[in-house]
């Protein structure tokens, strides 16, 4: 529950470009000419010493904080904002930055203190992170999904509903308990700790996450998937290069982490359910020295009536640094929530009747 962050994000301004036509979007695509990989302008795509396309670097996604996961209905199927809409988005982001700087300078400890500064304020023109379905909305749940929804509670949903805190497993999600933010949440923006670092070694890609300091290890050697009975918090990934694009398929999720949670701007209400049958397919394509086009498709037919896809540009920022994420599963916040809730209901910390 206790999450500490230092504010910093340095994003350079760049021209609006092709795939999402925003100030932080990338232009063109990579073409493969024989064995040589090149950018659209013909310049060579970087390779590692052992010959793989080079995706290494720090790719924080704080610049997406003003882009909601789901598209507001006013945009319909339109993926990009008009100039007028974009100007309003910029104004909102600038106002957020101003509030943050005022709070820092006054040494106030309100919630704004947690919202990392954007420093150079350039919003994306995307109307939503969801690019499929075409309306940019989260797909409807199946009957099974609706049935499982109540199993994916969080401290946010309990607090918002005015409910009681009684169980670490039922009233707090895995992020509350500092276990994991899970997937696909870990690749989506939040108010802080948005660092994503890509490392490579022969046969492996590592996707290093600032939030909870998790590292996703992706083998590239063609090994088979794990047995379906082996289930993990972040699933088990297998990857390969399709030209200059890193494709990562992840299965073997344990079905105990919400597919989305309330912390993602513009997400569905509460934590949406997942099952061990969930599969994610990610594509990382470096389209310029400082740009990676990222796409992730999520499938879970047991709980979703359709798949959904997230698309956005990642921006290189080698000055960005990971800072401590001081959160651990045995923190006292969960216990304090439960004991205080029980006290307010006339119960002892263990849940029995209190005799005053």
H helix or E strand, kind and range, residue 283: strand 279-288
* pLDDT the model gives residue 108: 64
Task: Look at residue 287 and tell me if it is in a domain.
Answer: yes
Task: Look at residue 136 and tell me if it is in a domain.
Answer: yes
Give residue-wise pLDDT tens across range 132-188. 999 999 999 999 999 998 888 777 777 766 778 888 888 888 888 888 889 999 999
Query: Per-residue confidence at 117, pLDDT binned at 50, 70, 90?
Result: low
Task: Look at residue 95 and tell me if it is in a domain.
Answer: no
Task: Look at residue 349 and tell me if it is in a domain.
Answer: no
Structure tokens belonging to residue 130: 């969801």
Q: What is the dihedral of CA 23, 130, 91, 121, to 10 degrees?
A: -40
Task: Look at residue 10 and tell me if it is in a domain.
Answer: no
**pTM confidence score:** 0.84
Structural domain of residue 179, as residue ranges?
A: 44-62+131-344
CB 116 within 8 A of CB 5: yes
Task: Look at residue 105 and tell me if it is in a domain.
Answer: no
CB 45 within 8 A of CB 35: no
When pLDDT is averaged across residues 321-338 and rounded to a whole number, the result is 81
Q: Please state the domain count of the chain.
A: 1
**Alpha carbons 77 and 54: distance in angstroms, whole number:** 34
Nearest to 59 by CA among 256, 288, 261: 288
Percent of the chain with pLDDT strictly greater than 90: 49
* pLDDT the model gives residue 115: 63
Task: Look at residue 4 and tell me if it is in a domain.
Answer: no
Task: Look at residue 107 and tell me if it is in a domain.
Answer: no
* pLDDT the model gives residue 107: 66
């Amino acid at each position: 529950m206790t999450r500490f962050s230092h504010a910093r994000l340095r994003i350079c301004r760049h021209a609006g470009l092709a795939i999402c036509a925003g100030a932080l979007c990338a232009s063109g695509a990579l073409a493969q000419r024989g064995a040589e990989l090149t950018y659209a302008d013909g310049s060579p795509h970087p390779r590692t010493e052992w010959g793989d396309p080079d995706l290494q670097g720090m790719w924080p996604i704080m610049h997406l904080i003003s882009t909601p996961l789901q598209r507001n209905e006013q945009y319909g199927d339109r993926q990009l904002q008009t100039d007028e809409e974009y100007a309003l988005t910029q104004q909102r982001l600038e106002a957020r930055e101003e509030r943050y700087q005022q709070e820092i300078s006054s040494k106030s400890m309100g919630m704004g203190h947690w919202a990392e500064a954007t420093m150079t304020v350039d919003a994306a023109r995307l109307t939503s992170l969801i690019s499929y379905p075409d309306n940019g909305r989260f797909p409807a749940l199946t009957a099974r999904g609706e049935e499982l929804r109540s199993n994916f509670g969080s401290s946010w949903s309990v607090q918002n509903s005015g409910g009681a805190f009684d169980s670490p497993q039922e009233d707090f999600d895995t992020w509350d308990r500092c276990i994991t933010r899970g997937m696909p949440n870990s690749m989506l923006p939040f108010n802080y700790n948005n660092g994503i670092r890509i490392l490579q070694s022969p046969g492996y890609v590592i996707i290093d996450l600032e939030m909870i300091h998790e590292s996703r290890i992706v083998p590239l050697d063609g090994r088979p998937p794990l047995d379906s009975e082996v289930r993990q918090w972040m699933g088990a990934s297998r990857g390969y290069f399709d030209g200059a694009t890193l494709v990562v398929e992840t299965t073997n999720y344990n079905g105990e982490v919400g597919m989305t949670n309330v912390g993602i701007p513009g997400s569905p209400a509460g934590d949406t359910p997942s099952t061990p049958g969930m599969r994610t397919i990610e594509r990382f394509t470096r389209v310029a020295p400082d740009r990676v086009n990222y796409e992730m498709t999520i499938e879970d037919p047991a709980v979703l009536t359709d798949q959904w896809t997230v698309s956005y540009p990642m921006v290189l920022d080698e000055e960005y640094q990971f800072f401590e994420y001081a959160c651990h599963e045995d923190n006292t916040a969960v216990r304090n929530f439960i004991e205080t809730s029980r006290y307010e209901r006339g119960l002892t910390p263990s849940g029995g009747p209190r005799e005053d």
